[in-house]
Structure 1
Amino acid sequence: MHLRWHYAGIVIVGGTVGTALRELLSLVVPDLNGVALVILGINVVGAFLLGALLETLSRSGPDEGRRRRLRLLLGTGVLGGFTTYSTLATGTALLLTNGRPTAATLYAVATLLVGAVATFLGIVVAANRHRRRFDPGSGTRAETGSRRGADTSTDNRNRPDTSDTAGGR
């Protein structure tokens, strides 16, 4: 795959916004006893949002056109700039350097574990939201990305082919 400059521009714009949001929050929220809890919060929220975003986009159709641009702008750009595992590593190293190995370990492990759980929860929330929104049996309208307004109650794409077993139809 070769570099597409307009995609790089989308990521740069998103990354600038995400980085600015992170910097603003880190300036407003003080550290607690030398631990940057705001970075923990940023990474956890970012992990949740990234899980939800990617699940939503993947359920909407193939990664092309508008969905690809949204993934690059919001996922790679904004959320990539917003979250920061390099600052997590630096904060952990500073805690170790300052003779606080327990705090360093808890900070690093909590960020990674809670971040993984947050990603999973983001995926689950987005999947459930999609299911409720597009399930024909739920009484809501049935529409998806490129098939907007299509009646999915007759959609046979995910059903087995039984034409040979129904009396030779």
Structure 2
Amino acid sequence: MRARTERGASPRPVHLRPGAVALVAAGGALGTLARSGVTAAVGAGTAWPLATTVENLTGAAALGLLLGVLGRRTETPRVRAARLALGTGVLGGYTTYSALAVEVQRLAAGGEPLLGVAYGVVSVVAGVLAALAGVVVGGGRTGGRSPRDRDAADAPEAAP
């Protein structure tokens, strides 16, 4: 007989739970629609893939912000659902690092290898910095304490 966890739920990994998959799928659909809207608004422009750059950098910042905010909370089913729906789903569908790879190859094959390399390096470095800024803005600077340590430190002390 399989062991049960709280509330009778099976110990099935999150990525195999139908509800979690549905959250990611619904969020991904919304994120993809948002990316399409940004692409239409920004347009093609120059040789530099501006729409993809905007999508990836704003998505990285938003993901950092989300993780900064959620990282301050104890992992509960609601926090996990928010992380899956918004982080993995919406922002996973919104950002498009696969397009970045294709665009780097397109630039290099199209006679612009230095522009392709510059685009790839700038996108990745700026994406990491945008995510870090999002974490800081989201309050994710916790002095290295885990959520459990923060919860214990913030709890009122017991009277002697």
Seen in structure 2, the aligned counterparts of structure 1 residues 128 and 75 have a Cα distance that, compared at 3 Å, is: closer
How far off its partner does 1:155 sit? 4.9
Seen in structure 2, the aligned counterparts of structure 1 residues 84 and 155 have a Cα distance that, compared at 3 Å, is: farther
Alpha-carbon distance in structure 2 between the residues aligned to 1:101 and 1:31: 19
Q: Greater relative contact order: 1 or 2 (C-alpha under 8 angstroms, separation 6 or more)?
A: 2
How far off its partner does 1:54 sit? 1.0
Higher radius of gyration, 1 or 2: 1
Seen in structure 2, the aligned counterparts of structure 1 residues 153 and 4 have a Cα distance that, compared at 3 Å, is: closer
Structure 1, gaps ≥5 residues long: 131-146, 157-168
Where do residues 88-167 of structure 1 align in structure 2 (5 Å cutoff)? 88-127=100-139, 152=154, 154-155=156-157
Superposed CA RMSD: 2.5
Where do residues 27-42 of structure 1 align in structure 2 (5 Å cutoff)? 27-42=40-55
User: Under a length normalisation based on structure 2, what TM-score does the superposition of the two structures give?
Assistant: 0.78
Alpha-carbon distance in structure 2 between the residues aligned to 1:24 and 1:71: 23
Q: Which amino acid aligns with 2:29?
A: T
Taking every aligned residue pair, what percent have the same amino acid on both sides? 35
Alpha-carbon distance in structure 2 between the residues aligned to 1:115 and 1:155: 41
Alpha-carbon distance in structure 2 between the residues aligned to 1:50 and 1:79: 7
Q: Which amino acid aligns with 1:85?
A: Y
User: Under a length normalisation based on structure 1, what TM-score does the superposition of the two structures give?
Assistant: 0.74
Match for residue 12 of structure 1 among 25, 41, 47: 25
Q: Which amino acid aligns with 2:38?
A: L
Alpha-carbon distance in structure 2 between the residues aligned to 1:155 and 1:125: 29
The answer to whether the 8 Å contact 2:135/2:141 transfers is no
Seen in structure 2, the aligned counterparts of structure 1 residues 76 and 155 have a Cα distance that, compared at 3 Å, is: farther
In structure 2, the partner of 1:164 is: none
Q: Which amino acid aligns with 1:110?
A: V
How far off its partner does 1:35 sit? 2.1
Seen in structure 2, the aligned counterparts of structure 1 residues 125 and 98 have a Cα distance that, compared at 3 Å, is: same
The answer to whether the 8 Å contact 1:30/1:36 transfers is no
Q: Which amino acid aligns with 1:55?
A: G
In structure 2, the partner of 1:65 is: 77
Q: Which amino acid aligns with 1:117?
A: L
Aligned length, in residue pairs:
138
SS in 1 for 2:111: coil
How far off its partner does 1:99 sit? 0.2
The answer to whether the 8 Å contact 2:100/2:120 transfers is yes
Q: Which amino acid aligns with 1:43?
A: N
